[in-house]
Amino acid sequence: MFIAPWMLGFGGWYDTQPYRDILFYVPFLQPLFFGPLLYFYVKTLTNVNYRLTKTDLLHFIPGSVYLLWTIAVFVVDKLLLKRYYMMNGRTDPDFDPWFSWIWLGSVLVYLILTIKHYRKYKLYSRAEFSFADIVSFHWLRNFLYAFTTLSALFLFEHILSLIVELHYGQAWYYFLAFAIICYYMAISAYGNNFVPESKLNFQPENLEAYQEAMTTEIPLPSADHSWMIPWKQKLEQAMADRIFLSEDLTLSDLAQQLETNASLLSKVINSSYGQSFNDFINSARVNEAIRLMKDPYYQNYSLHAIALEAGFYSKATFNRAFKKFTGTNPSEYF
């Protein structure tokens, strides 16, 4: 719908009646919905339990008001007065300058909000998930930055139009980039690895509870951390019981098993091992994979099979973790 006016315009549909009036009255552009839809989509992507609230619906008021306005234009001009009154009849109302500035500003604001939410989620995922690579949504990150750049370029063009006269046909590059980004988003999302959605429950307000797991600094020896000793012993016992073999293990799952909370456990892991939860678990999995490689029983196993046996969700995650902790890739080591 967003690119339809240009496609139909270059096809000559705006040049003749009755198509011209029909196209003028059809509200193809609804970009005031772009920002809110993207923002809440990312929220539901990172939290399977997220549901829209009545307050959230307020974000859709500007788009709804514009949609109602386009309906009012049709009713007044076409049905009641049967002449152009609320629109000038020369240009499509969807491209009025005031509307272009409003929706461009809306898209940029929501892109910034969405990127901030995603970056917080990334911090959370490194502290909470042993399979953070799987649920990092790298395709989404790339899309957000690409779409922000594209919107900024479109904004620059609008600013430039205040200085020099630009022909609407010069915007072809924007729609080429728009199409490429849309295809990229669809293909990347479709080809994304399976995500254990039931584990995704990110709430930004709870991020502070995970802050300790986001630093790798080991506390000074002079600090009293004797209270951690019992928890460290429980943690080491859980690791000895090979809890890391659970491919969808989370910090909350482990904390529940040890009968404590995620914040306390993250402090123990960070202070005792100088690692985030993700690195702590995956380093144990790498060691397990190395043990399997050396075991004659597993000599005929593929590296992918060994990765799954060691608790990794995918071979790609296994390769990245193995390279990180050993300095070489699995095939070379094997």
Write out pLDDT tens, residues 284-314: 999 999 999 999 998 888 999 999 999 998 8
Assigned domain for 287 exists: yes
What is the Cα Rg of the chain in Å? Answer: 27
pLDDT of residue 211: 60
In terms of domains, do 171 and 65 share one? yes
In terms of domains, do 96 and 178 share one? yes
Question: Tokens 């509307």 appear where?
Answer: 99
Assigned domain for 200 exists: no
- Higher pLDDT: 284 or 146? It is 284
Q: How far apart are CA 73 and CA 39, in angstroms?
A: 30
In terms of domains, do 154 and 258 share one? no
pLDDT of residue 204: 83
Q: How far apart are CA 37 and CA 47, in angstroms?
A: 15
Which two structure tokens, joined as six digits, stand for 169? 């046909």
Burial of 285 (0-12, 13-18, 19+ CB in 10 A): buried
In terms of domains, do 46 and 163 share one? yes
Cα angle 239-243-244, degrees, rounded to a multiple of 5: 85
Which two structure tokens, joined as six digits, stand for 122? 């990334």
Give tens-digit pLDDT for 90-121: 888 888 888 989 999 999 999 999 999 999 99
What 3-state DSSP class applies to 163? coil
What is Dmax (Cα atoms) for the chain? 87
In terms of domains, do 221 and 301 share one? yes
* pLDDT band at residue 193 under the 50/70/90 scheme: low
pLDDT of residue 62: 96
In terms of domains, do 237 and 172 share one? no
**Distance of alpha carbon 39 from the chain centroid:** 9
Identify residue 97 by its one-letter amino acid code.
Answer: P
Assigned domain for 166 exists: yes
Question: Tokens 């995603």 appear where?
Answer: 118
pLDDT of residue 168: 67
* pLDDT band at residue 222 under the 50/70/90 scheme: very low
Burial of 160 (0-12, 13-18, 19+ CB in 10 A): exposed
Integer CA distances (angstroms), 71 to 13, 66, 79, in order: 21, 9, 11
In terms of domains, do 222 and 168 share one? no
CA atoms within 13 A on the CB side of 160: 11
Question: Tokens 């990245």 appear where?
Answer: 320
Integer CA distances (angstroms), 41 to 101, 149, 232, in order: 24, 20, 39
pLDDT of residue 17: 81
- Which pTM was predicted? 0.83
Question: Tokens 């994979």 appear where?
Answer: 289
Residues in the chain: 334
Which two structure tokens, joined as six digits, stand for 261? 């909370």
Q: How far apart are CA 108 and CA 141, in angstroms?
A: 15
In terms of domains, do 148 and 277 share one? no
In terms of domains, do 153 and 95 share one? yes
How many structural domains comprise the chain?
2
In terms of domains, do 60 and 179 share one? yes
Q: Are 266 and 287 in contact (CB under 8 A)?
A: no
Report phi then psi at 286, rounded to 5. Answer: -65, -45
- Higher pLDDT: 94 or 222? It is 94
pLDDT of residue 334: 82
Write out the residue range of the structural domain in which residue 297 sits. Answer: 214-333
Q: What is the CATH number of the domain that holds 255?
A: 1.10.10.60
Report percent pLDDT > 90 for the chain: 33
Q: How far apart are CA 93 and CA 90, in angstroms?
A: 9
What are the start-end ranges of the H helices in the chain? Answer: 4-10, 19-25, 34-46, 61-73, 97-128, 138-161, 172-190, 228-240, 251-257, 262-273, 277-294, 303-309, 315-326, 330-333
Determine the average pLDDT of the residues in 19-45: 91
Report phi then psi at 216, rounded to 5. Answer: -110, 15
pLDDT of residue 210: 65
Assigned domain for 208 exists: no
pLDDT of residue 273: 85
In terms of domains, do 256 and 321 share one? yes
pLDDT of residue 263: 82
